[in-house]
Amino acid sequence: MISVKIKNFGTLKTWLGPLITVQLKDNAVVNDLLNEIFRKYGGHVRDLLIDPKTGTVFNYIKIFKNGRIIFFDQGVNTPLADGDEIVIIPYPSPLSL
């Protein structure tokens, strides 16, 4: 098992709090993390992040792994490791730091 910290901003910060920790299986990817968040916190989080027409993350959602945007890596298939820090910024909502 791996432990991943997620820093939330905007609406996600209001719904989930500023920081959550999620336990995932070894060899997990960002998509596994998102599915665990949806399972644990509900469909309204999925509605904020996932385009129902395409089933993919809305293009205005910014997800970073250890300070690097995942879409320059492997997108939602970016591998995760124990101790990784994920930041999810749901644009165009205002940042509430």
What are the pLDDT digits (tens) for 61-87?
999 999 999 988 899 999 999 999 999
In Å, how far are 37, 68, 73, 87 from 95, measured between CA atoms?
20, 18, 24, 12
Which residue segments constitute the domains of the chain, with CATH numbers given? Answer: 2-90 (3.10.20.30)
pTM, two decimals, is 0.87
DSSP summary character for residue 79: B
* CB-based contacts of 74, cutoff 8 Å, min separation 6: 29
